Structure 1
């Protein structure tokens, strides 16, 4: 990530400039949460790298905050075939997390297509991964945040 990219994401990473109350709560209480959860010790024992621990803890916080009807985790290189099946399996309250959205030019282009997909509602670009909410009752919006 370049300095320019990092600086462009800093403002919204703490919730500043986010108008949606739901998105603001999600950014401040889930993505930016630093208080311990009940399963953090187990995650610390199982995960070997700091990035993996942070990511697994985020997945736990997402599932506790949103209580998604379905939650799919997809690698960006398999996403073209898996996205359609994940959206079909998911209900309107589903969450899809796509890893590796900024690896190269091809993955960036595909992430742009995912954001524009009519089946996807609110998206959060956390640079290394993207979070897609399928709830169409929410206004379609895209947020760029720093996570790692």
Structure 2
């Protein structure tokens, strides 16, 4: 996956983490592995990237990533608290310094009352967690691609270096 012009480059995210001596892991829902694929496409990614978890089904967010089942039951999978918990959970599960996460609705249909295009991305670091809401236009493919860009941009904003 090549970054579109003006998109955050996966290589920049890896370099920022490497500059801090930090490793990365990724938890993905609507992006279905696209974030990890973008990072893995960078030569030398293995020096920083620990791995990823695609928790597409809501129950897997709880069982694999430790997202509170009560949070999922009350708010559904598309919620800022879920994104933060996914990022923190993949950090723990992979033994990484930084966790990135994506959750949202790519469409074409709403999910749990949430319209397509609503996405939450999160980054968990030793310094804390940051979540960003994205309201993305376009079809399913456009929303998924923009979600990848969104989590990479947030990582560049959050990871000092």
TM-score range, shorter chain: 0.3 to 0.5
Relative contact order, higher structure (CA 8 A, sep 6+): 2
Normalised by the size of structure 2, how large is the TM-score?
Answer: 0.34
More strand by share: 2
More helix by share: 1
Normalised by the size of structure 1, how large is the TM-score?
Answer: 0.35
